[in-house]
Amino acid sequence: MAKNVIVKVRNGDLNRALKIFKKKVNEFGILQEVKNRQEYIKPSAIKREKKKQAIRKQYIELLKSKPNNRI
């Protein structure tokens, strides 16, 4: 669950406070949580997506580690 984010505005510097606020929101993952809760995704679909991403990541790492064998 998300935490409350509090940012103090010092010396009337609203732009600085907004920058700090955005950084804290990103650190806590609040926006990501809101995006994830917009629709229900079945646990099996989440597992399937994670597995697909892991396979893709492993394939990319394999391609990076292979030397180019072009003639």
Q: pLDDT tens for residues 11-24?
A: 999 999 999 999 99
DSSP 9: -
pTM for this entry: 0.53
- Sequence spans of domains, the chain: 14-65
pLDDT tens per residue across span 26-62: 999 888 888 989 999 999 999 999 999 999 999 999 9
How far is the C-alpha of 30 from the C-alpha of 70, rounded, in Å? 47
Helical H segments across the chain, by residue range: 14-28, 30-36, 43-65
